[in-house]
Every structure is written in structure tokens, then in C-alpha cells.
Structure 1
């Protein structure tokens, strides 16, 4: 029994094609949670694919209906070796976005894993079937290497509605806190910083959606007769937005920004380079908050973006002054901001700048909160050391993901320290046609997670005491 043996078993599982075959069976399930008619398929994924696999590893499993009627189910699996041992909670989601089969490259299908060089194509390969299957497979190899033991207890939560906004997840976890109680949360989603660099992130930025509306009159009026006499709502709204965020993307409302960038976050981001991978767009270095590095802008600060803007009839414009204008915006925010104050801050700012005709309203009440485990947590140093030991690389540490995940459910409702180890990469076409995993990243990730789970069996008890 040794750590090296567990990693060798994980490598062999990749090399002999067993993991690819497992992923192929998973991807064959069209688990599109945004399509109501696919609800039976969401259950089928858990019942006929995941449950037999986990039970063969000694897990007890239960499938639960979603507390939100008509939405995807949840599975709780547990493998308890000894109540006195540390307990790991892991997570994944078996649902995917729509397949969009007609948009995939010729020869590819969303519901079949097609290997083309180092790329494994298929819907869910990167998000999130491939990622949670890597973790389950690594657990399996550690059990094998330790002669049937892990050295810790394991709980797994799989949801089938993440791509539909995780409806019911918070309510479900609150109702099942005892069943999900653990000492550490380790899961995988999202991309690495770069394909070749193992990555840890400790939470995510939150996302707050709001709309701006200018509704001045009913209908449109001929611009030849009324131009220069009637206020144009499109122009009013454009100027209102420009008062919130300037032409270089700098947020102009103090209440929408963190007061400062914490020193420990700045220190963690010193060696983080953003936008250096193949296929990445060229960064506009003058865009965003001045005085911050590219990584600090994405992982340590707030941004305000316009997602959609409409006035008049864009599909068939006419020479008329429209009666209304509308824009959908959102704010990506860190734990250093309170999203509950955003609407009041925007309203106060608009009124102070003479935009009293611009209405502002929050558009989604189920805000994904910002979360961040303290980079000084003993769990963080331990995980970084484990990754470096396995790969002989310097892993990237992101205080939080630039995007959003339902991590607040685990960090706030369940009260767990959260460590995420992603197994995809930025150009994986997640959510788009031609989604794929990179084979070298899959192999390395299997090794990484075998190392992590071996080390948790060796050091988990010590870490629980240190963290508490």
C-alpha cells in the first residue's frame, strides 16, 4: 500500500481505456435539465448509471425529489468507515446544457464521446460529468490501493439541475444538513487557469442581475416631425449606463465596488497570469479598474457589464423615436461587497445624476453569493502541497473563481471549508457546441485526485484539528 500505487492505479485506469468507456456511458444520457421533457432522463442517470457504480464501491445511495416541483432530483451517497474519522463531502452535477446537435462539427455528436487527438468531444465531458467521474474514479483507485479502505468517510451530493440555476439546492441542503455533515468539501467544476497548470480555487464571485428601463411614452413617433422635441429613451438609457460604468469599463458607483483588495488575495494572485492560453481573446489592458493586474480584476474585484440593450425595433429599424428602452446588466462581485445594497446604490446614483426617469429592478431573487475560503486555511496549504507532490508543478491558487457557482450552499448553509480542483481548461467550449476534455488533463487529474484522497486518509485528522 502506497501513495505511488494509488496514482499508478489511476494512471492505468486511464491508459487501458476504462475511464473513457465510463465517460462514454455517462455522456450517452441526454440529461438536458433546461428541457422539461427530459426529467425522466435526469432520474435515469442517477438510477441506472450512478447508483450501481457507487454501490459497487461500498456507498449507500438515496435519490430524492427536488423540493421545487418538476425540477431535477438529488442523490446523496455515503460511505462511512468509522464515525471517528474525518468526513469528506464532494459534489457534482449530472445535468448538462442543451445539446444543440445541429451546431456541432461534422462527425461529432453531443451524446457520444468522439476522440480526436487529445480532445474528447461530447456534451458534459467538461461540465460536469467528466469532472465528477474523475473524482469517483480516483476514490476507487485509493480504495483499491489501501486494501478496501480510504482512511476517511465520504459523502457525495449529485444534483441534476445546476445548468438550470440549481433550483432547490439550498433548500434541499438545509433540510438534509445532518446527512451532508462533513469536515471538508472538495469538488471539481469549471476550468483550470490554463490547461498545463493544476489549479485550486476557494470559492467564487457572486452574480447580481438587474434591469434598467426608460418608459417615456406609448409607441414611437416620426423623427422628422418630433426629433429634437421628444426625449429619446435610448439616448437617456445609454447615458445613464455611461454614468454607472465609463468608456473604459471602470465602475463609477462606489457602492458597487469593494473598499479594497485584501492583502492575502493580492498575494495569492501575484503569479496568476490570465489570458495566455490558445484560443483566448486578446486582453484589453486599459479596460477595467485602474491600478489592478489582469488577475486582480477577474478574481479580486467587481465588474459591471451590459448583457443586452434594446430600444426601437433592432430587427427592422424605422425613422422613429422609440417610446421605451431596456437593458439587462449584471455585477460580478467578491465577498468584500454586499449585494443587498446594490439596488439602493444604483438608485441613489441615478437620481443624483438626473436620471430619475430610469427605473432599476433586480431581475433574479436567487442570487449566487460570493464566497472565499481564507487562503491561510490549513486545508489550502495542504491541498497545494498535495498537487505539487503529485505533478511536480507549481499549482495556481485562485482565491475565488471569476465566475459563479452555488458554493454558498456548501460554505454558508453547510458551513464547510471549500476547496475546488477543476479538471477542465478555458477553451473547452463549455456550454457551446464541440464541448470537450483534454486527454492529458484527464490523466493528470486522475493522478491529482488519487494523491489528494490518499493524503486525506493520511492527514485528515490532523487537518480537522488545525482548522478548528
Structure 2
């Protein structure tokens, strides 16, 4: 007699055990009971849908990527309401990495979502933060193992900056806000109701695109393959991180403590958007990142600008001059040695770069940019170089709160993107030395009165840490196999890029000997890291199809 299907064995036992032991804090009650009840309904629906195929699915023949895409599409069209409801309930849980209580609720919710699919799940703890959620699903016929990486934490939020004022209350709109999209109700209220969601509709919420929707897309693709009796071509593992937006300070240490779980042949990261042309994207590298804060000082307290202006040094002016000295008019960084350690692109990477779409003029029109930086280079060329960005400035007050004062200090927050060959600490040291060469007394603490009296220019420079860039060779057999599957699944429309401009801590997996490749699915205009973050549903649906094709057909 064949063994009982794994999902059907796990769902009742684990959910029953969880229902007896889990307790929600009062702060979580607003959405907790509703979320739990709805999730159980979803779990039940998934179990009913999957039960016939789990016992026999592994005996079916392997489909082509196009056949897997069609199977996932048919399943999705019958289950859109359930899929969107699962995503919306996940988005309703606040997920700032430093919000310990809520980030751990996210992890507990993920455990339920994974176990509902029969995925063996473990929490890899991190003190005071959300754990790394690890899952494993073995396919008897598979000879290769693929790890899927995503993160479930999100960027900090300012509710006042969001159009709807509530980043953790998902809102459905008929189009992008910039295109006049109006709020509309989520369709299909009944558990069994068939919904019809337009591809151009968008869900607005923190982490709608970065990174909760790819997690749900993967699980929905898994549901679809099982419902259609399509076997997995690979063993699947998942690593879901809860502090990526905080710089992943504990991920490497946590994974090194659990190396026994990480045996695999490939890691796929879901982080990032598709290409700016709207076409699907496969990328093979990402930039590293460091953060630093610079504070320049004036008088020990803000002074009346009429009484002290022209005499008291203005730190906002001093900081502005310092920042302006870091770049020329074309955006070229003027810090000594800034570009010296860049590893040149290989021939395969240069060829892929040359084949990428020419869409800079479209982006300039869309974003209202009359003249880009870069001295005539294309965007795809510039993201292969290191960059220096002022991500925030603050000094005294503006707008209705403006005061006629000489400020006591001015602060800037910078992020610096690194490419292959560059060391994070060395990059920070270059910037710190540049600041000293501009005549500043550079320190890492609040200046004492003695230091203020002795030095005309003082800059507190704080290194926030960071990590290096990482890249996988594009000519590896696994690289070519994955590209073929995704291209077949998207009818040849996929953009193949040597690297993404953003940063993800993939160097950790590179150090573990794992090749990694990026397959993002969300729309490029998703307001990632900003207010009004959103997910275009058409990209969400297509992402499910791509992940379904990978799970069903990847082989090398």
C-alpha cells in the first residue's frame, strides 16, 4: 500500500497541535482571529484540491514548460480568490524586522502556509528578530535540489506618506495610482466563489512586491502542479529571511549553524523586480551595499539667524558642499580609488548586456527626467558600476515648521552600491579619507566641547556595515538550463541580465558553494522601498507560471 500523502498527514496533526498551543497577544487580535480562521479555510481548500494528486502525481510524465504554464494558468483562473485572499492575509501582518512581536507572527504564519503544502518546516532562531524559516519538500524522482530564497520582512513605513494611510491594510485598485486607479473591493467573498481579477489591478500594501508576493506565487504554483498531477522535477527547499531589509546581519551565522540543511545544486532568489520594459527577467549577479551616516556640526544649539547669521557656521551649507564635492555634474564619483577594484565583465556578460532592451528614452519620459547622469552611458551599463547615493538629508525644519535659525547640525544618510571585486570596508575607508581630505575632523562619536573648540569642521561618520557583490557564471550548465526553461515558459520574451542593480546577500550562498540565479516576478514600477508599494496582478499570475515551469521542468 502506498504511503499516505504527506500534506494530508501533516495538515490535521500540525494545525490541531498549533490551535491548542498558540496564543496571540492583544496587539494582534485585530487581525489575528480573522487571519487564523481564514487561513484554516484556505488550508482545507488546498487539502481537498491536492488530495487526489499527491498519491499519484509522481507517476506522471514530465510536461514541457509551456504545458506547465498552461496547467498553472488553468488552476489559477479557478482559484484566484483563494490565492489573493492568502496573499492579503499575509500582507496584513506588520513586518518591520525590528518589530519583534509582529515579525515572529509572520514566521508563525509562514509555518502554517508551508505545512499546509506538506513542506517539512523548521525555524532557525535569531535572538530578538524573526527566525529564518526553512522548508523542505522531497520529490522521489528528482536528482537535483533547488533552494528558493525570499525575505518576509519589509522596509519601515510612514503611514502619512501612503495614499490610503494604512500600509498593512491591503487595498485593491483598478490601476496604478499614477494612472488614476480607484479603490475597488476584493472580488468573491465566498470560500468557493470564483473571482475574476483584471491583470492591471494592483494590490497596495507594504511588501506586496518586496517580497511576500513571490512566496505566495511559489506556493500557488506548487498547489497547481499537484492539482494537475504534475510531478516536481527537483527537490524543493525554501529559505525565508526576516531581516533582509535590515542588512541581513544574522543570516550568514544562522545558516552556518545549520549547514546540514543546505545541501542543494542551485539557489533561486525571488527578490527584485522584472526588467523596466515589463518583460520577465533572469539575472546572475547583484551589487553589494554599504550604508553610512554623516553628521556635520555647527553651534551647540540652534541660533537666531538674524542675530547670528553670517557669523555662526551653518552645518547645512557645509554638508551640502561636502556632498557636492563627491560627484561631478555627470554623476561620476570623485573619491580617490572609487572605481579601482572593479572586476571587468566577461565575454558572456558583455554579450548579454549588449542584447538587453534599449528602453532608456521610455524611462526618461515616464520618470520626468530631462537629462540622466552617466555621461551618455545606458542604465544597464551604469548598474554594472559602483554607485554613491544620498538617500536622505535632514537639518532643522522646512515647510510649515520652518524656523529662522542657524541649525546646530546637518545629517546625511548614504548608500553605496558595490560591484564584484570591491570590499565593503575598503569602500567605507575611501569615503572617510575623502571627508578628511575636505578638511573635516572625522570622528565616530558626538563631539566633545573641547573637540568643537579645537576643530572648525567636524564630521561624525558612522559605518552601518554592508556586504560585497556576488555573481554566478552565465555559461554554467545550470545557468543555461534555467534560462531555457524560463524562455520556453515566456515564449522567448525573457531579458537575460548579467546582474541586477539592487542588493541581496547572495554572497552568503556563494561562500557555501551554491550557484545562485535571480528570477524576480513583480512589476518594475512597484514603489519598492517607498510609500504606496504595490503589486500588479498580471505580473503575479505570470510569476506563478514561471515558477511552475521551473519546478516541473528544470533539469541539467
TM-score, length basis structure 1: 0.83
Secondary structure, in 3 states, of the residue corresponding to 1:257?
coil
Distance 1:87 1:176, change over 3 A: same
Distance 1:396 1:178, change over 3 A: same
Distance in 2, matches of 1:22 and 1:100, equals 28
Gap regions ≥5 residues in structure 1: 461-468
Gap regions ≥5 residues in structure 2: 1-60, 173-185, 188-196, 442-456
Distance in 2, matches of 1:84 and 1:22, equals 27
Superposed CA offset, 1:244-296 (max 9, x none): 123442210132235555254443222244553699413454413x3532221
Q: How far did residue 419 of structure 1 move?
A: 0.9
Contact 1:92–1:132, Cα closer than 8 Å, also in 2 = yes
Residue 244 of structure 2 corresponds to residue 162 of structure 1: yes
Distance 1:121 1:429, change over 3 A: same
Distance in 2, matches of 1:168 and 1:161, equals 8
Q: How far did residue 15 of structure 1 move?
A: 1.6
Which residue number in structure 2 is paired with residue 204 of structure 1?
Answer: 286
Residue 506 of structure 2 corresponds to residue 447 of structure 1: no
Residue 455 of structure 2 corresponds to residue 362 of structure 1: no
Which residue number in structure 1 is paired with residue 120 of structure 2?
Answer: 60
Distance in 2, matches of 1:219 and 1:227, equals 14
Which residue number in structure 1 is paired with residue 94 of structure 2?
Answer: 32
- Indicate the RMSD between aligned Cα atoms, in angstroms: 3.3
Superposed CA offset, 1:122-156 (max 9, x none): 434423232122223334444566x5642332211
Residue 401 of structure 2 corresponds to residue 341 of structure 1: no
Which residue number in structure 2 is paired with residue 465 of structure 1?
Answer: none
Distance in 1, matches of 2:544 and 2:142, equals 28
Secondary structure, in 3 states, of the residue corresponding to 2:333?
coil
Q: How far did residue 166 of structure 1 move?
A: 3.8
Select which of 232, 235, 238 maps to 2:320: 238
Distance in 1, matches of 2:167 and 2:458, equals 47
Mapping of residues 294-373 of structure 1, within 5 Å: 294-297=379-382, 299-314=383-398, 316-356=401-441, 357-359=457-459, 361-365=461-465, 367-373=466-472
Residue 154 of structure 2 corresponds to residue 93 of structure 1: no
Which residue number in structure 2 is paired with residue 41 of structure 1?
Answer: 105
Superposed CA offset, 1:159-211 (max 9, x none): 33434544532221111111012110113122101364110122321221112
Distance in 1, matches of 2:429 and 2:352, equals 32
Secondary structure, in 3 states, of the residue corresponding to 1:406?
coil
Distance 1:84 1:199, change over 3 A: closer
Q: Which has the larger radius of gyration?
A: 2
Mapping of residues 19-418 of structure 1, within 5 Å: 19-29=80-90, 30-34=92-96, 35-39=99-103, 41-52=105-116, 54-55=117-118, 59-64=119-124, 66-67=125-126, 69-81=127-139, 85-96=143-154, 103-105=162-164, 110-111=169-170, 114=186, 117=198, 118-123=200-205, 124-142=207-225, 149-166=231-248, 168-194=250-276, 196-223=278-305, 226-257=308-339, 259=341, 261-264=344-347, 265-270=349-354, 271-274=356-359, 276=362, 280-288=366-374, 290=375, 292-297=377-382, 299-314=383-398, 316-356=401-441, 357-359=457-459, 361-365=461-465, 367-412=466-511, 414-418=512-516
Count of aligned pairs: 446
Distance in 1, matches of 2:164 and 2:411, equals 36
Q: How far did residue 391 of structure 1 move?
A: 1.9
Contact 2:284–2:497, Cα closer than 8 Å, also in 1 = yes
Contact 2:391–2:413, Cα closer than 8 Å, also in 1 = yes
TM-score, length basis structure 2: 0.71
Deviates more, 1:251-260 or 1:394-403: 251-260
Contact 2:148–2:237, Cα closer than 8 Å, also in 1 = yes
